[in-house]
Structure 1
């Protein structure tokens, strides 16, 4: 198969949310004590998990969780609840942290993100970013000069469909003018991103490891599929 277009997931694939340690310095538990390192680590895991339920939720919050990437208000509502249940009971503290989590400038690109995006562009391959997300991630690319390499951003809250729904993949393929059989989807979730294979796309799985540990995951994924 000759790959003629590439789709990338965002979180855990091209970028990763890696907090500045000062983000969590002010956070306290219900007793007023600072969160320990273990609690901080678990907190960030819950805030960035691509699929699955991370805490027990009421029916109302469960609805918000299932639809969080379709509606910014539901996203905010349920993640404030996740923060509360994860040891951040102070509402103002939770709101301040949430605002950081949805700030595109706070996200860190993987070391090979720029090279891979530029490499695709140099080969004339149209690139799309396909993300289950409830906020605009374009500034994360624009601030780093990477937006020039992206033909289309297909964001769930804008197109009203979330992976693994085939509709969001079809939207991305249509916008790129690409056939599924000649498109590679790269992502960190076999469940969500891997559903592209049901339409006929090739799929490459990358690990959502810290950026300091995964230095060439994207390059390796694309070379495996003879893209670079």
Structure 2
């Protein structure tokens, strides 16, 4: 193994809970609601799948079906898809949907898994190249910088910058080229069997982790280090 490609959401980082996300948006707008109302709205937003990186929609409205399938191919598609889901839930102010969308891109909305920095540091020390390949509609680099992980990442391959999303082999080819390595020299680490598993079609080894809350997954990434032996 000469290089490792990591997914972002659910692999190296986890987004805040839907309730925390909603509370941050309400605070930004100076809106106060009863605790029961906050919990009710958070539950509806979670069921709608309105928080990028959070729970998947329980049901995608038919009018958003095609958009949802292509949501990570551009920033505009991503915004439209998630605002479309969010607007299925009536909120106290109409512009709160936009506030919430902006909030999910803030570094403070994300937490790295406890072992993420350790694993990246040890791979770097061992001379193993490190890349991030993500289905996403916005620039996640500020999140890595804010949490001190950016120095340990050699290259980022983001779907919205290439108009292709995993499991499309085109995105993995760009990621491999970015590290200057052949697919057979790389390990892909992710939480999505379908999307991240697409790297196997190119010849990459693949390792999966579970998309769990940060406190419930303290050391799963350390298994990647076994590939150094």
- TM-score, with length taken from structure 2: 0.85
Quick check: 1:117 aligned with 2:120? yes
* Alignment RMSD: 2.8
Matched, 1:75 2:73: no
Q: 1:17 aligns with which of 15, 25, 40?
A: 15
The CA deviation string for residues 88-146 of structure 1, in whole angstroms up to 9 with x for no partner, is 47422211111111223421100001001111110111111000001000011112222
Aligned structure 1 segments of 4 or more residues deviating by more than 3 angstroms:
19-23, 25-29, 32-35, 43-46, 48-54, 86-90
- Residues 197 and 113 from structure 1, CA distance in 2 versus in 1: closer, same or farther, beyond 3 angstroms? same
Cα contact 1:84–1:94 (8 A) shared by 2: yes
Tell me how far apart the structure 2 counterparts of residues 171 and 83 of structure 1 sit (CA, whole Å): 32
Q: 1:184 to 1:86 in 2, by over 3 A?
A: farther
Structure ranking higher in helix proportion:
2
Q: 5+ residue gaps in structure 1? A: none
Q: Residue 28 of structure 1 contacts residue 35 of structure 1 at CA under 8 Å; is this kept in 2?
A: no
Task: Return the alpha-carbon distance in structure 2 between the equivalents of residues 165 and 79 of structure 1.
Answer: 21
Question: 2:207 maps to what in 1?
Answer: 204
Which digits, 9 at most, give the CA deviation of each residue in 1:175-220, with x for residues without a partner?
1111111210000000000111111111111011000110001112
- How does 1:119-158 map onto structure 2 within 5 Å? 119-158=122-161
Structure 2: 5+ residue stretches without partners: none
Preserved contact between residue 13 and residue 206 of structure 1 (Cα < 8 Å): yes
8 Å CA contact 2:2–2:129 kept in 1: the answer is yes
Q: Distance in 2 between matches of 1:164 and 1:20?
A: 27
Q: Between 199-208 and 139-148, report the one with greater CA deviation.
A: 139-148
Distance 2:68 2:19 in 1: 27
Give the match for residue 46 of structure 2.
42
Are residues 1:107 and 2:110 paired? yes
